[in-house]
Structure 1
Amino acid sequence: MGSCSLPLFPCLSSLKMKIKPMAALTNSSKTIVPYELKRGQNRLFHKLPSGLKMEVIEQRRSKSERDNPPLVFVHGSYHAAWCWAEHWLPYFSSSGFDSYAVSLLGQGESDEPLGTVSGTLQTHASDIADFIELNLGSSPPVLIGHSFGGLIVQYYLANIVNKQSLGAENTYPELSGAVLVCSVPPSGNSGLVLRYLFSKPVAAFKVTLSLAAKGFQKSIPLCRETFFSEAMDDQLVKRYQDLMTKSSRMPLFDLRKLNASLPVPKPMENSTKVLVLGAKDDFIVDNEGLKETGRFYDVEPVCIESVAHDMMLDCSWEISADVLLNWLRGSSKLGNLHA
């Protein structure tokens, strides 16, 4: 994913401390195309140890039939919290789950760190851990990551496990579960690069043009092919194209350094329960990449028909949301998915 390779992507245990509230609402906007919140949503700012503020869009559950764990959503490259707020936050909050979508630093309405990139796997995962620790108290959430956000979730999982196995103090709060949505595999995109180059050279060229050269920002057909299904309306593609273009102000990673840090460590057995979700029409993460992630976590991945890479924004977003909801409801003792 660095200059030496073809970049296919732009893209609790119970706490005994005092819980600190998130910062108050603000009307200031860092993006040229600010996302207008839907009814029932709030834009909050969580102050990180660095002093920088991280945007959080929250939508509390509208019913509480049982004690469901909160959901925390992590976006990938060229996206921000808004990509979850469009459909999935209303859907899951109405299904009984407090839902939170974060914007990683340098994305959405979050502050920008010093430097040319917004962070590393470690800093992004630590920022998420800080938010969970100080705001969700003794309610371990389900952590849900899309694309490169899925790789950040994998790093988070590995560090919970490693700290526990070493008997060290756990600075990454416990989770009730983890969901990897069209996620970058644990080894990164190297395998994807080779497969695309040798088996799909035209697709490799298009993805490179779209993401590395940011061609998706100028072409509606290319944007649609990269992220969405063919049936997506031009006007809707243009809306998301504008949001992706303006809300991602810095690259998420230094791709060369990221590759050098991979693969993520292997979790130990009987760790957090993981769901691996893929899309049949994913233009970025191929079926072998999906299978790799499933093998790594010793689970059978679920490949959903009729949806594309951005399954939370796609015109058939309800299909994948239903699959995730059924997994959440089907897991024994929802509030304790890790048991």
Structure 2
Amino acid sequence: MSDSPLSGSVPVMFVHGLWIHATAWAPWQSLFEEHGYTTSAPGWPGDSATVQQTRDHAEQLNGVGIEAICRHYAALIDAMPAPPIVVGHSFGGLIAQELLANGYAAAAVAIDPAPIKGVKALPFSQLKSGWPVLSNPANRNRTVALTREQFRYSFGNTLSEEESDTLHAQWTIPGPGRPLFEDATANFVRNSPAAVDTHHAERGPLLLISGTEDHVVPQKVTEEVVKLYADGPSRTDYRTIEGKGHSLTIDSGWTEVAQIALEWIGANEANVNRTEEPAR
């Protein structure tokens, strides 16, 4: 690990993905704060303060889509003293890339990120993971919760049944269907909210991380995202983590992923703009 991380000069914002509550980032926040960072983990628009409250008021997330989520985090960042480093998982990883490309983030780490526009791969496991939502067009404007069995396939496929079921009980919340429908149709929509400027945006550094056993966002999908950035003017790095599924940010091996993110952030200290206002 770098001996001289950013010394707290750049805040870190964590962005959760579909079906997982923001408070699941608490262990990451503690670890990053031990290394001198100021952290935050705001929920999506419509999230309540706790897992149970969000489950009890899931209707507040009905119809929430990618654009609304991006605008929500952009507004929060506008109120911050400096653009943060954004660490996102799953759809949070897509949001992190959009915030970075539009000048709202100093750098970004996208972990098993939902595919951006331009990705053509659609592995069977990805389709099966999204099927609880995509199988019914009415789900576009309402929330859907994963059963234990659905969670076990999508998130917990590398875990014991006991650990997967524990994570399901502890962290899962109903998720809005709209982002999944928007992502699934991104390549057919001219102004898709899942589009990210991978070719022209001059931005801070980006790290993409893929678990090799992920069912929700298979490694092949993230590799296509890496290729989309290949000709861009800004730095993009890519790391794979063997044997990890989509639960990699919340399961018992989360520290391995967090350490990779910390090391990368420390190594890219010189590339992170600390003082200038972002170009938006």
Which TM-score bucket, shorter chain as reference? 0.7 to 0.9
Using CA pairs below 8 Å that are at least 6 residues apart, which structure has the higher relative contact order? 2
* Structure 1 match to 2:247: 310
> For structure 2, which runs of at least 5 residues remain unmatched after alignment?
136-143, 231-235
Give the structure with the higher percent helix. Answer: 2
Amino acid at match of 2:100: L
Q: CA deviation at 1:101?
A: 0.7
* Structure 2 match to 1:191: 120
* Structure 2 match to 1:97: 37
* Structure 1 match to 2:140: none
Q: CA deviation at 1:320?
A: 0.8
Is 1:176–1:337's contact at 8 Å kept on the other side of the alignment? yes
- The sequence identity of aligned pairs, in percent, is 21
Is 2:8–2:38's contact at 8 Å kept on the other side of the alignment? no
Amino acid at match of 1:79: I
**1:144 matches 2:90:** no
Is 2:88–2:95's contact at 8 Å kept on the other side of the alignment? yes
**1:207 matches 2:129:** yes
Aligned-residue RMSD, C-alpha: 3.3
CA distance in 2, matches of 1:108, 1:180: 24
CA distance in 1, matches of 2:201, 2:176: 36
**1:182 matches 2:112:** yes
CA distance in 2, matches of 1:285, 1:333: 31
* Structure 2 match to 1:158: 101
Deviations 1:258-286 (A, max 9, x none): 63316514242542211111111211212
CA distance in 2, matches of 1:93, 1:211: 36
Is 1:279–1:304's contact at 8 Å kept on the other side of the alignment? yes
Q: 2:152 aligns to what SS in structure 1? A: helix
Q: 2:166 aligns to what SS in structure 1? A: helix
Amino acid at match of 1:116: N
Alignment partner of 2:203 out of 271, 278, 281: 271
Q: Over alpha carbons, which structure has the higher Rg?
A: 1
Q: CA deviation at 1:239?
A: 3.3
> For structure 1, which runs of at least 5 residues remain unmatched after alignment?
1-63, 161-172, 197-202
**1:319 matches 2:256:** yes
**1:224 matches 2:156:** no
**1:121 matches 2:66:** yes
What is the TM-score with the length of structure 1 in the denominator?
A: 0.63
Is 1:308–1:314's contact at 8 Å kept on the other side of the alignment? no
* Structure 2 match to 1:283: 215
CA distance in 2, matches of 1:105, 1:74: 12
Q: CA deviation at 1:149?
A: 1.5
Equivalenced residue count is 247
* Structure 2 match to 1:293: 225
